[in-house]
Amino acid sequence: MEVLFCRENLATMGDAALDLLTRNAGDKLRIQVIKCIIACSECASQHIARVNGELIVASSADELVNKILRLATAAN
């Protein structure tokens, strides 16, 4: 499962979600940080990531991690 983080979003919202996923996801996820994931309106105010192309939006880093891990579990 591919997870893309926006570099600008991490700079604005913090990288707690990236850190949590990197530590806890094992080899289930291919995590990348790229320049932009094309979600500018959400990027400015919420934690975001793209999982296999689908935009995931959350109000906190913990919520984002939980959503991503649920998707990863459902995919297996």
pTM: 0.92
pLDDT of residue 36: 94
Task: Classify strands 30-34 and 2-6 as parallel, antiparallel or unpaired.
Answer: parallel
Neighbours of 1 (CB within 10 A): 15
Name the helix (H) or strand (E) containing 54.
Answer: strand 54-58
Give the mean pLDDT of 51-73. Answer: 95
> CB of 48 within 8 A of CB of 6?
yes
pLDDT of residue 25: 76
Which tens digit of pLDDT belongs to each residue from 23-51? 887 788 999 999 999 998 998 899 999 99
